[in-house]
Amino acid sequence: MIKLTTPLHKDDINNLKVGDSVLLSGTIFTARDAVHKYLLENPQELPKGIDLTGAVIFHAGPNAKKVNDKWVITAIGPTTSARMSAYEPDFIKRFGVRAIIGKGGMDKNTKESLKNNGAAYFSAIGGAAALLAQSVVQVKNVFFLERFAMTEAMWELEVKDFPVIVTMDRHGKSVHDDVKKKSGKEYERLIGE
Amino acid sequence: MEITKHIIELYKKVATTLPSDVKAALSKAYENKEESTTAINTLSAINKNIELAENESKAICQDTGTPYFFVKYPIALSQLEVKKQIIEATKIASKEIPLRPNSVETLRGKTESDNVGVGIPVFYLEEWEKHDLQIQLILKGGGSENMGRTYSLPDTTLGAGRDIHGVRKCIIDAVFQAQGKACPPGILGIAVGSPKDAVARLAKEQLLRKLDDRNPVRELDRFEKDITAELNTLGIGPAGLGGKTTILGAKIAFMHRHPACYFVEIAYSCWATRRGTLTINEVGEVVYD
C-alpha cells in the first residue's frame, strides 16, 4: 500500500504503476462536467487562493447535508469519467493537475495528457459511497454552489487515507485498455457464434 | 388513506439497504468466484459499504437515483391522491435521508432541491382487482442508466436477426460497450417487442424481479441463466477492472409488437440495485419487502 499526501509531485506520479493501491491524504477537489467546462472557458474564475498545481481532481457529486451550519458529506463516490474526457487533457495542462479520481477510465487523449504532463488516473469504487465518505475528514469549502448546485459544485475536501487504485499511469499503461482488449476477444467469439 | 409516512419509510429503506437477494449474490461473488486481487478487494469494499450503509442508515451510493414508482391500486382508490402523497413524501425524504438533488430542469439547467420535476418521479400506475395497495420503488442511478441501450432488429453490424439469437447478441454488445462505466457487477432488465416506450417500461419492470425468481416462460428461464453465464466470460469484472463477475443476473420479458418493429431494450442497473415494495392491505396493515 502506497501512501501519498497532496499536493502531489512529479516523482510521486513517476513511481506509480497500474495496479498499485494508494491511500491519499490531504486536499482533493471535486469537479464534474459543469466545473470542467466553466473553468476552461473562464480560467480567471478559479476561486481566489485556490491553486490546482499538483492537485487531485475527483469526478464526483457528493450527497451532503448541513449540520449546525457546517457541510457534512454523507455519501461520496466517483461518477463516470468518460464524460469529462472532452475537457480533461486541456484541464490537466492548464491547471497543472497531477491526478484524477473517477470510475471507468478515460479516452486516449487523456492518456496522452497524463503522459505528457506527468499525471495519473485513479479508480475509486463506484457506489461504495458510504465507505468512501468515511475517508472525508471535513469540507474545507464549496465553490459554485449557487451556480451549479450540490452535484456539480466544486467541493474542496480534506481526506485521510482515501483508497484508490492506479488504473492509468503516466507511462501509458491502462487497466481499462487491457480489460477492453481482453473482453473484446471474448466478445468477438461470443458474437461470432 | 394516509400513506405519506410509509412512502418516506420506503425511500429510507431503499436508499440505505440493498435487497437481500442482491446482497446474497454479491457476497457469494466475493466468497467463491474471483481470483485477482483487484476483483477480490473491490467486492470486499462493496460488501463493506453495504453493511456500513445499512447499519448507519446512510445512502449506499451518493447518487440516490431517479425515483420510479410502480403502483398497483385497488378499485375505488384515487390515483390522484396516491400520486399527490408520493410527491409530498419525495420532498420530505429528500431533506430527511437526504436524497441528492437529482432533478434538473433540462432547458435552463436549474437543479430542484426536492427531487420533483416534470416527469420526476416516474410513475407507472395500474388499477388491479386485489384489495391491497402495492407501491414498488426503484432508485435508479444515472451512471448505469446512461449505459442502457435500445436496438432495432435486424442489426446488420451485429449480425443480429429477429429471433432470440439476435436478442442475445444485443445483450452481449450492450454489456461489452458498458465496460466499467455502469458499476458492474450489474443486473439487466431486458424487454423485446414494440413500441419503444412500452419496451422501455417493461425492461424497467424486470428490474423489480428478485434475482432468484424463475421466469414463467420456460425457454426464457433457461435463456436468463445462459446469458448470465456467457456475460461473465467477458472478464470485465467488478468496477470494470477485470474479473469473473460482470453480471449478477438478467431478467427478460417479451411483449407483442407491430409487424414492422422489433426492439430490444436493455436497462442496466448497477450493483447497487435499489428496490423495495410497500404493501398496505385493506385493514391498513403495512408490509415492507
Residues of A belonging to the active site: 36
Cell of B211: 434475482
Torsion of CA A91, A4, A154, B146, to 10 degrees: 70
Reduce the DSSP state of residue B42 to 3 states and report it: helix
Walk me through the domains of chain A, giving residue ranges and CATH numbers: 2-192 (3.20.130.10)
The verdict on a CB contact (< 8 Å) between B49 and A129 is: yes
pLDDT confidence band for B123 (50 / 70 / 90): very high
Q: Give me the residue from B38, B60, B181 closest to A130, CB to CB.
A: B60
Contacts of A178 in chain B (CB under 8 A): 242
Contacts of B15 in chain A (CB under 8 A): none
Q: Is the dihedral of CA A109, A112, A117, A121 positive or negative?
A: positive
The verdict on a CB contact (< 8 Å) between A186 and B234 is: yes
Contacts of A103 in chain B (CB under 8 A): 143, 180-181, 183, 239-240
Rounded mean pLDDT, B108-136 = 97
**Closest residue in chain A to residue B99, using alpha carbons only:** A63
Q: Rounded mean pLDDT of chain B?
A: 97
DSSP codes of every residue in A81-109: GGGGTTTHHHHHHHHT--EEEEBS---HH
Rounded mean pLDDT, B216-229 = 98
On whether the CB atoms of residues B8 and B92 are closer than 8 A, the answer is: yes
Count CB pairs under 8 A between chains A and B: 157
A163 in contact with chain B, both atoms CB, cutoff 8 A:
yes
Q: Give me the residue from B58, B183, B235 closest to A186, CB to CB.
A: B235
Model pLDDT, residue A177: 98
Rounded mean pLDDT, B245-263 = 98
Rounded mean pLDDT, A3-31 = 98
Rounded mean pLDDT, B199-226 = 98
According to DSSP, residue B118 is labeled T
Model pLDDT, residue B166: 98
**Closest residue in chain A to residue B238, using alpha carbons only:** A125
Rounded mean pLDDT, A137-162 = 97
Model pLDDT, residue B32: 78
Cell of B244: 469473473
Q: pLDDT (tens digit, 9 = 90+) per residue, A60-85?
A: 999 999 999 999 999 999 999 999 99
The verdict on a CB contact (< 8 Å) between A151 and B60 is: no
Query: What is the percent of chain A with per-residue pLDDT over 90, rounded to a whole number?
Result: 99
- Inform me whether the pLDDT recorded for B1 exceeds 90: no
pLDDT confidence band for A193 (50 / 70 / 90): confident
Question: What is the CATH code of the structural domain delimited by B4-14+60-141+274-288?
Answer: 3.30.360
The verdict on a CB contact (< 8 Å) between B38 and A129 is: no
Residue A146: C-alpha distances to residues A44, A143, B200 (Å): 18, 8, 35
**A62 Cβ partners below 8 Å, 6+ apart?**
A30, A73, A74, A75, A76, A133, A150, A151, A155, B62, B100
According to DSSP, residue B99 is labeled P
**Closest residue in chain A to residue B17, using alpha carbons only:** A130
Model pLDDT, residue B21: 98
Name the pTM for this structure: 0.96
B63 in contact with chain A, both atoms CB, cutoff 8 A:
yes
Rounded to 5 degrees, what are φ and ψ at B89? -65, -35
Model pLDDT, residue B130: 97
pLDDT confidence band for A153 (50 / 70 / 90): very high
Q: pLDDT (tens digit, 9 = 90+) per residue, A36-68?
A: 999 999 999 999 999 999 999 999 999 999 999
- Inform me whether the pLDDT recorded for A142 exceeds 80: yes
On whether the CB atoms of residues B272 and B25 are closer than 8 A, the answer is: no
Q: Which residue out of B241, B245, B247 would a mutagenesis test of the A interface target, given it has the greatest number of A Cβ atoms within 10 Å?
A: B241
